[in-house]
Copies of this chain bind each other. A is one copy, B any other.
Amino acid sequence: MRATENMDAEPRNPLPDQAAAVRSGGARRPRVLVATGPTHEPIDDVRYIGNRSSGLMGTAIAAAFQARGYPVTVVRGPGVPAVPECGDRQFVTAADLLSVLRAEWPSHEVLVMAAAVADYRPAARVPGKMRREGGPITLALEPTEDILAGLTANRRADQYVVGFALEHPEELASSAIAKLQRKRANAIVANPLATMNSPDVDATVFFADGRSATPGRTMPKPEFAAWLVKLLETQHLQ
């Protein structure tokens, strides 16, 4: 692991710790909520705007937390398979995802927001099937809800939020840090665009206190997921 600052320093944005566990009635591990996969925003009954997220990163992270004994709930998008031995919820649209996360978030302490949310959806859904006509047409789009910002704005002091950013390589750090601050997350995992729909990842984790860490090489997503869970544990989880 390569760290840009001393990773042994006292974390200023700790994950829920034993104190939280004691408050909640026992020395149990924090409950982890992982959102993963694409959103599909309907244009009509058959067509939609989607994105190429495979859900691999989020499901690998869920499996890595689960393997280390954390109770995990997975909230997964279209085409993403369930993760064994985890709680299971599904979504299609960004609005669905926000609704599920709002319902689940109060009973969890850690949110890993790895879902790839469409930033835009069709402003109006055409009933039935849009007919093919002769020439060009235009599709009016409106912004979807800002899901991560909505959840972090109301989070409890014992809740910890890890976001994801998919960025152009040349502005990876600056865009990710801007997103981390804008979304008020505790940490953000920044990936180059090539990560999407790939089995491998070359990511850097930025924390709200200014530190960052990276494995320093491209690795399979399950290997990165195990590294990330250990990083978060080393820093924050007791």
Binding site for B on A (CB under 8 A): 40, 43, 45-53, 79, 116, 118-120, 123, 128-130, 132-143, 166-168, 193, 196
Contact of A193 among B40, B46, B133, B135 (CB under 8 A): B46
A129-B168, A141-B136, A193-B129 known; A51+B48 contact, CB < 8 A: yes
Q: Provide the residues of chain B in CB contact with A120, threshold 8 Å.
A: 132, 137
With both beta carbons as reference points, the residue of chain B lying nearest to A119 in the complex is identified as B132
With both beta carbons as reference points, the residue of chain B lying nearest to A140 in the complex is identified as B138
Number of chain copies forming the complex: 2
Contact A134 B138 (CB under 8 A): no
Which of A47, A49, A118 has the most C-beta atoms of chain B within 10 angstroms of its own C-beta?
A47
Contact A50 B40 (CB under 8 A): yes
Q: Provide the residues of chain B in CB contact with A116, threshold 8 Å.
A: 46
With both beta carbons as reference points, the residue of chain B lying nearest to A43 in the complex is identified as B49
Q: Provide the residues of chain B in CB contact with A143, threshold 8 Å.
A: 132-136
Distance of A222 from chain B, by nearest CB (Å): 21
With both beta carbons as reference points, the residue of chain B lying nearest to A46 in the complex is identified as B51
Contact A123 B142 (CB under 8 A): no
Distance of A148 from chain B, by nearest CB (Å): 12
Within the assembled complex, what's the spacing in Å between the Cα atoms of A49 and B139?
Answer: 11
Distance of A79 from chain B, by nearest CB (Å): 6
Q: Provide the residues of chain B in CB contact with A50, threshold 8 Å.
A: 40, 47-50
Q: A40-B50, A134-B143, A136-B143 are in contact. List 8 more A-B contacts (CB 8 A).
A: A40-B52, A120-B137, A123-B136, A128-B193, A129-B168, A135-B142, A138-B139, A138-B141
Contact B51 A49 (CB under 8 A): no
Contact B128 A168 (CB under 8 A): yes
Contact B51 A47 (CB under 8 A): yes
Within the assembled complex, what's the spacing in Å between the Cα atoms of A140 and B118?
Answer: 17
Contact B138 A138 (CB under 8 A): yes
Within the assembled complex, what's the spacing in Å between the Cα atoms of A52 and B41?
Answer: 11
Which of A50, A143, A193 has the most C-beta atoms of chain B within 10 angstroms of its own C-beta?
A50
Contact of A48 among B49, B79, B129, B167 (CB under 8 A): B49
Q: Provide the residues of chain B in CB contact with A141, threshold 8 Å.
A: 136-139
Q: Provide the residues of chain B in CB contact with A47, threshold 8 Å.
A: 49-52, 118
With both beta carbons as reference points, the residue of chain B lying nearest to A193 in the complex is identified as B45
